[in-house]
Amino acid sequence: MPQDEEVVISPSGWVAEQAKTYEESGGTKGTDLNGSPCLLLDYRGRRTGAWRRTVLIYGRDGEDYLIVASKGGADEHPLWYVNLEANPDVSVRVGPERFTARAETLGAEDRTRVWPGLVEVYPPYADYQLKTDREIPVVRLRRTGG
């Protein structure tokens, strides 16, 4: 993400507040949600081209970060996920570190392998999957640069 472009923070109240705290503290505050680790994801909107920011719980798979497009078990994907499908190049902040990454939805085999670990990181994911007929996507964020 070019540093001179403005980032629009999620309009959701708690997400906006946590994203602001996370960024303004340089990644030293707001880094978890009830004990589950969180990152900041900056992604480009598919229609407007504007950069947007949200806070997401994450897991790990080796050096990669994993995020879950759960939307609380809703029947439709979260908007950030739909935007990643169109524009997979993102910026990520994990704690004090910011880096660029490429987002890729995991295939069935990899998703099956990592899902138990993600449920361990955030147990409500199991209930979210039971609430919906869609298979909740898991997205790999693979570092592409500094």
Q: How far, rounded to the nearest angstrom, does the alpha carbon of residue 10 sit from its chain's CA centroid?
A: 12
Q: How many CB atoms lie within 10 A of CB 68?
A: 25
Work out the percent of the chain whose per-residue pLDDT is above 70: 96
Mean pLDDT computed over every residue of the chain = 94
In the predicted model, is pLDDT for residue 15 greater than 60? yes
In the predicted model, is pLDDT for residue 6 greater than 80? yes
For position 18, what pLDDT does the model report? 95
What span, in angstroms and rounded, lies between the C-alpha atoms of 103 and 69? 12
In the predicted model, is pLDDT for residue 3 greater than 70? no
What span, in angstroms and rounded, lies between the C-alpha atoms of 22 and 123? 23
What span, in angstroms and rounded, lies between the C-alpha atoms of 127 and 131? 6
- Bigger pLDDT: 63 or 11? 63
